[in-house]
């Protein structure tokens, strides 16, 4: 099922069909002047349907659709219009028709198009009956490239998280990254010989060794060696039982999403390469399944990490930070100027910030502040949290050098401090603890795999390097 990742976005088409609807965009401040210019038929229709800025926002008249939007157009406004169109028209009409915007240009048109694309997303790979989505006429050219890239990258995150674990293991994740590399003339190397993995990435090996689907470290490299080096690290736990500290069923239900960190970094890599940012990009994904078997690692086991630090495993359900530890050590060895890691890591981040806002940590306060400020512009919130060093005492009380889980309230901070232990202190580092799932369902954000912080991180990198 992974062969559908990175395919063309079906929400857009370069050609009009015989039955074409024009979506006329009307900003609230322009509504009165717009209404005065309309024919008597449209004016009466608007009145009878309560079509006004404070009431119904979408009106259908023949093949004309009128939509009222805020004076400042936001990212998901196009998704709301798309959703309204689906309610106005039958499935048969949507299959036969195309749609196009009128009355907007520039940034407004781009935002509405991105929103429309996100509104058209549906994960129907495993449905026998598929619903049609309204197709927006949009040429796949240089002008519209940012729309296709952003929508396609967000689709990739959602698809990767939504695909069930029986169809997305470490091997399939490797194939996805290789497919992305092929599109962008990037190179990929994979460490999956188990003896070599045990020797070079002992924590990755330890977490994944109980599964018949063998663990591996996947590495993509792209760009000019002379450009600034940045490295992305994504937690790739394709399914998390919790190991011997097994999760209750209600918490294991959605653990196909525990590779949400990898999904985000894969999509972020795509955005970087799509936009040809002048950076030397490295993407690292430790891909494992945390399974229960006779070979599974145990609470109390002490493992020597790639960095040489001895880690006492106090909880096999705190496995994500283990595989990230070895990978962050490896990332630091390449001496990049910036490392960004993404992980579905802690329940305490969700308790503190809810599902929509990733917890952001950084060893550089200026970078953290800049990213949080950027999130306002990108309409994609993140929230900076403290790397509170006095709490380090909680992870250093160990028979070894560190424990992977302190077992105290505040785990999002302890886990970030744990990860910081494996990053070169001369390297700027950013860590995002995300949820990667939408429970409620909203326009442009259906129930299922969800992107959070992706556009913010890309916008930050674009501002910094672009």
Q: Which residues are annotated as catalytic? A: 247, 321
Residue 387, token pair as written in the block? 């790397």
Residues in CB range of 202: below 8 A, 6 or more apart = 303, 304, 305, 306, 326
Maximum separation of any 2 CA atoms in the chain, in Å: 82
Contact 343, 431 (CB under 8 A): yes
What DSSP line would sit under 128-140, residue for residue?
Answer: SS----PEEE---
DSSP 393: G
In eight-state DSSP terms, residue 445 is: B
Q: 230 to each of 8, 314, 317, how far by Cα in Å?
A: 27, 32, 29
How many angstroms separate the CA atoms of 260 and 451, rounded?
9
Tokens of 230: 């940045």
Task: Give CA–CA dist 412/359, Å, rounded.
Answer: 8
CA nearest to 134, candidates 174, 188, 87, 180: 87
Bridging pattern class, strands 437-438 and 448-449 = antiparallel
Evaluated on CA atoms 416, 465, 113, 44, the torsion sign reads positive
Compute and round to an integer the Cα radius of gyration of the chain.
Answer: 24
Q: Of 418, 396, 438, 211, nearest to 318 (Cα)?
A: 418
- The DSSP output letter for 307 is T
């Amino acid at each position: 099922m992974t062969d559908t990742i990175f395919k063309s976005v079906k929400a857009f088409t370069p050609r009009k069909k015989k039955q074409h609807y024009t979506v006329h965009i009307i900003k609230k401040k322009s509504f009165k002047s717009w209404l005065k210019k309309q024919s008597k038929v449209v004016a009466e229709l608007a009145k009878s349907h309560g079509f006004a800025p404070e009431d119904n926002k979408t009106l259908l008249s023949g093949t004309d659709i009128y939509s009222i939007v805020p004076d400042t157009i936001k990212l998901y406004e196009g998704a709301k219009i798309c959703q309204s169109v689906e309610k106005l028209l039958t499935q048969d009409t949507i299959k036969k028709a195309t749609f196009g915007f009128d009355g907007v240009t520039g940034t407004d048109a781009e935002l509405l198009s991105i929103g429309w694309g996100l509104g058209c997303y549906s994960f129907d790979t495993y449905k026998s009956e598929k619903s049609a989505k309204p197709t927006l006429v949009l040429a796949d050219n240089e002008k519209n490239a940012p729309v296709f890239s952003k929508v396609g990258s967000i689709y990739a995150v959602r698809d990767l998280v939504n695909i069930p674990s029986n169809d997305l293991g470490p091997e399939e994740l490797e194939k996805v990254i290789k497919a992305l590399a092929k599109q962008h003339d990037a190179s990929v190397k994979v460490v999956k010989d188990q003896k070599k993995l045990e020797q070079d990435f002992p924590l990755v090996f330890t977490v994944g060794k109980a599964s018949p689907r063998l663990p591996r470290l996947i590495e993509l490299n792209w760009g000019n060696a002379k450009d600034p080096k940045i490295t992305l690290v994504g937690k790739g736990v394709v399914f998390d039982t919790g190991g011997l500290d097994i999760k209750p069923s209600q918490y294991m239900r959605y653990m196909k999403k525990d590779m949400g960190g990898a999904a985000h970094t894969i999509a972020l890599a795509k955005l970087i390469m799509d936009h040809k940012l002048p950076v030397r990009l490295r993407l690292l994904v430790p891909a494992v399944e945390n399974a229960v078997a006779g070979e599974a690692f145990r609470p109390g086991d002490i493992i020597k990490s790639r960095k040489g630090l001895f880690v006492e495993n106090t909880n096999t359900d705190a496995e994500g930070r283990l595989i990230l530890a070895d990978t962050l050590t490896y990332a630091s060895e390449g001496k990049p100027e910036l490392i960004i890691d993404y992980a579905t890591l802690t329940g305490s981040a969700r308790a503190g910030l809810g599902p929509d806002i990733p917890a952001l940590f950084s060893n550089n306060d200026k970078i953290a502040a800049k990213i949080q400020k950027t999130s306002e512009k990108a309409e994609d919130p993140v929230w900076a949290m403290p790397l509170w060093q006095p709490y380090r005492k909680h992870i250093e009380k160990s028979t070894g050098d560190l424990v992977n889980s302190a077992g105290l309230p505040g785990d999002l901070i302890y886990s970030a401090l744990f990860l910081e232990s494996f990053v070169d202190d001369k390297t700027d580092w950013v860590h995002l603890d995300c949820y990667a799932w939408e429970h409620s369902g909203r326009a442009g954000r259906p129930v299922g795999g969800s992107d959070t912080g992706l556009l913010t991180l890309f916008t930050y990198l674009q501002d910094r390097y672009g």
